[in-house]
Structure 1
Amino acid sequence: MKRLPIPEDVTGEEIDKDVRQELQSLPKTLAEDVAKNLVMVARLIDEDPEGAYGYSRVALRLASRVAAVREAAGFAAYANQKYSEALAEFRAARRMTGTVELWPLMADCERGLGRPEKALDMAGAPEVQKLDKAGQVEMRLVAAGARRDLGQLDAAIVTLQSSELASNSVQPWTARLRYAYADALLAAGRSGEAREWFAKAVEADRDGSTDASDRLAELDGVEFVDALVEDEADDAADEDDKD
């Protein structure tokens, strides 16, 4: 079995304590190998999803009966838009743990597979009531996306209207929820309201998780010009003047 290189600074101790506890069912050396590969998945998944996927496959070959490994493999496949594979891994992890946390992601995989109706069925399932607040907001975002997939723009807007959207308090999901609402409004031709909500998304987006500021500038007719390109154009104009 092909192993991938692990940087020296990765010890495996970086993983979450709950995951470490899960790995205790494995022989010590094997548990350490799996932990290191899971650390690499977490380290790479945002910047290098393809690399993260490679490490997730190694972990999966080493310990496919560990729920945390199946979940990590699901996230890596999802990040690479391998939705069928991601869905299978999320389902396996859910069978092992019995938790509902992955339900919104599973529904979004159905969207990725071109089955928005299935995603909407899942949005109305009893499992949604068992989700925490963050999970319920995530499910709402997935359901609104499914409505848009079906061309139901007004229904997508209504789906996003909620106490979480109306709240002035900023939660981890606030920026993405406001952004999705603004985007749905814009798609429905309600540009004035969309501008207002993109501005609200900017206010809540403290870590730059959306491009709300760019969308807002676009609506306001602001054009971003590359300073280097602009300088080169000026230089070219000067040369023409000399000629």
Structure 2
Amino acid sequence: MQQELQSLPRGLAEDVAMNLVMVARLIDEDPETAYAYSRIALRLASRVAAVREAAGFAAYGNQKYSEALAEFRAARRMTGSAELWPLMADCERGLGRPEKALDMAGAPEVSKLDKAGQVEMRLVAAGARRDMGQLDAAIVTLQSPELASNATQPWTARLRYAYADALLEAGREDEAREWFAKALESDKEGSTDASDRLAELDGVEFVDAFDDSAEDGAPAPEGDSDNDGDSGSDSADAEREGRDER
């Protein structure tokens, strides 16, 4: 990114860099604000590939798939890289065009992706199959050497999770539980909710320890009493008088 920004005047480059840093910092916890920063960077330097890519990620994080796709395409034209191909395909899914996503999964660009990109493309293709109601085909799509490997890679948890989720939708609950457990085992960063899904399958219910209303014999909230006598009215009058004095 720094190399790309060197083509800009120094002050402008610093402003653009600051906005891109904020996009990266906020994209997960506050996607709307990240999107706002991306629009500022885009207004300042729309001819910089890193800016178009950041704008694409920010739009994607806010489910603005048409806008994200346009930005990813622009970044790809500038760099010639196929790195964004899976994200572009997933944008097609988001726009309700799973057939287009599947066409992209079979395109020559996929062979140019690294292993992580190819796994991501497989996940997108499986999602497109599910969008089209082809659940068995989605399951087969996810069956791969990467899924069968015992090695843990950055994509392992998400791949196993997607496979477990597809199995569960297909009614293969025992297999789904096995793969959710495998997903949890490899999910060191907590990128999935595999633990929650396992708990659901095991019938475990979580109770909020701070929810007093869940306890038996908890007192009814004020105002719910059936007693409409003078004592309640007098109490309310006294409380109002006290507020007036304050």
TM-score (norm 1): 0.89
RMSD: 1.0
- The match for 1:102 among 84, 91, 103 is 84
Map 1:6-85 → 2, pairs under 5 A: 19-85=1-67
Q: Which residue of 2 aligns with 1:165?
A: 147
Shift of 1:239: 5.3
- Following TM superposition, by how much is the alpha carbon of 1:233 offset from its aligned partner in structure 2, in angstroms? 3.2
Deviations 1:13-62 (A, max 9, x none): xxxxxx01100000000000000000000010000000000000000000
User: Per-residue displacement from partner, 1:121-166 (whole Å, max 9, x unpaired)?
Assistant: 0000000011000000000000000000000000000000000000
Tell me which residue corresponds to 1:86. 68
The runs of 5 or more residues in structure 1 that have no matched partner are 1-18
Give the 3 Å change call, closer, same or farther, for CA 189–24 of structure 1 in structure 2: same
Q: Distance in 1 between matches of 2:195 and 2:146?
A: 21
Q: What is the rounded CA distance, in whole Å, between the counterparts of 1:134 and 1:232 in structure 2? A: 47
CA distance in 2, matches of 1:98, 1:89: 14
Matched, 1:232 2:221: no
Instruction: Give the AA of the match of 2:17.
Output: A
**Residues in 2 aligned to 1:127 and 1:101: alpha-carbon distance in whole angstroms:** 9
Distance 1:238 1:61, change over 3 A: closer
Query: What is the deviation of 1:228?
Result: 1.5
State the one-letter code of the partner of 1:233. Answer: A
User: Aligned partners of 2:172, 2:218: CA distance in 1, in Å?
Assistant: 44
CA-to-aligned-CA distance 1:91-135 (integer Å, 9 cap, x gap): 000000000000000000000000000000000000001100000
- CA distance in structure 2 between the aligned counterparts of 1:210 and 1:143, rounded to whole angstroms: 19
Q: How far 1:238 sits from its partner (Å)?
A: 6.0
Aligned: 1:119 with 2:90: no
Q: Aligned AA for 2:195? A: S
2-structure distance, mates of 1:105, 1:50: 19
C-alpha distance in structure 2 between counterparts of 1:157 and 1:178, whole Å? 11
How many percent identity over aligned positions?
Answer: 85
TM-score, scaled to structure 2: 0.88
Which of these two proteins has the greater Rg computed from alpha carbons? 2
| Counterpart AA for 1:176 | R
Letter in 2 for 1:72: A
Matched, 1:134 2:103: no
**What is residue 202 of structure 2 aligned with on the other side?**
220
- How has the CA–CA distance of structure 1 residues 118 and 239 changed in structure 2, closer, same or farther, with 3 Å as cutoff? closer
Partner residue in 2 for 1:175:
157
How far apart, CA to CA, are the structure 1 residues paired with 2:39 and 2:61? Answer: 14
**CA distance change for structure 1 residues 228 and 129 in 2, over 3 Å: closer, same or farther?**
same
CA distance in 2, matches of 1:129, 1:238: 63
Distance (Å, rounded) in 2 between the aligned partners of 1:36 and 1:118: 36
